[in-house]
Amino acid sequence: MKQKREERLRMKNKQVKNIEHTLLSDNYYILNKVTFDYLMKSGEWVNQMREVYDRGDGAGILLYNKQKRTVILTKQFRMPTYLNDNEDGMLVEVAAGMLDKDNPEDCIIRETEEETGYRLKSVKKVYEGYSSPGVMTEKMHFFIGEYTDDMKVSDGGGLDSEAEDIEVLEIPFYKAVDMLHSGGIMDTRTIVLLQYAIIHKLID
């Protein structure tokens, strides 16, 4: 199995060989030390090491209402940001979640209802990209979706079973843009999707 995996990877990039994984932690997600040989432009093979965190892939969505000129965002405590210069640890974000065994579209529709209480009928995928390619395997799928008041089926707020404590924010689009420019929004997924909304004039 290991040999077949290496052969498959070598077919993709002939500059990489001798890939070795050493498990460092699987307490929540998976952290591996990965060593490999990499062929430099000079023609020299160099042994390199990376710590690689595998938490699966994710999806995020910007909910918007053209008539009301509003967007739905969430606010919750994020410990890693609290440890790195975010005074109260609270972060304003788009609704987002991790893919389980479902596809990105089904995932984001499910996560939207759990977090915001809105049951979407359809979504549109606009981007996909790697969240932090130097250390994480995660690929993020970016969506937009129109919402209306009649799609509200619950208060949202996340799942008690996952100890989620999410505040749902319905705010004017112009205010979200102001927060983006003033530093009130610092989540990369949210920045990407608000910039998409601005560029594509989702809300005039």
Q: Are residues 115 and 22 in the same domain?
A: no
**Mean pLDDT within 132-154:** 96
Domain boundary among 10, 37, 54: 54
Q: Are residues 49 and 145 in the same domain?
A: no
Q: Are residues 87 and 139 in the same domain?
A: yes
Q: Are residues 115 and 19 in the same domain?
A: no
Q: What is the CATH number of the domain that holds 12?
A: 2.20.25
Q: Are residues 190 and 89 in the same domain?
A: yes
Q: Are residues 71 and 151 in the same domain?
A: yes
Q: Are residues 178 and 123 in the same domain?
A: yes
- The pLDDT confidence band at residue 147, using thresholds 50, 70 and 90, is very high
Q: What is the CATH number of the domain that holds 120?
A: 3.90.79.10
Q: Are residues 169 and 147 in the same domain?
A: yes
CB neighbour class for 59 (10 Å; exposed up to 12, middle 13-18, buried from 19): buried
Phi and psi for 54 in degrees, rounded to 5?
Answer: -110, 105
Q: Are residues 101 and 145 in the same domain?
A: yes
Domain boundary among 36, 54, 72: 54
CA–CA separation, 163 and 160 (whole Å) = 5
CB 144 within 8 A of CB 94: no
Domain boundary among 10, 26, 54: 54
Q: Are residues 175 and 105 in the same domain?
A: yes
Query: What's residue 101's pLDDT?
Result: 76
115 has binding-site annotation: yes
Query: What's residue 172's pLDDT?
Result: 98
The pLDDT of residue 6 is above 60: no
CA 54 to chain centre: 13
Question: What domain range includes position 178?
Answer: 58-200
142: which 2 tokens? 């970016």
Query: What's residue 143's pLDDT?
Result: 98
Phi and psi for 55 in degrees, rounded to 5?
Answer: -115, 15
Number of domains in the chain: 2
DSSP 56: -
Query: What's residue 123's pLDDT?
Result: 97
Rounded to whole angstroms, the maximal C-alpha distance in the chain is 62
Q: Mind listing the pLDDT tens digit for each residue in 57-100?
A: 999 999 999 999 999 999 999 999 999 999 999 999 999 999 98
- The pLDDT confidence band at residue 56, using thresholds 50, 70 and 90, is very high
The answer to whether the Cα torsion of 186, 188, 190, 191 is positive or negative is positive
pTM: 0.90
111 has binding-site annotation: yes
Q: Are residues 83 and 37 in the same domain?
A: no
Query: What's residue 163's pLDDT?
Result: 60
Phi and psi for 152 in degrees, rounded to 5?
Answer: -75, 115
CA distances 196 to 15, 47, 63, 75, 115, Å, are: 35, 40, 12, 20, 22
Q: Are residues 41 and 67 in the same domain?
A: no
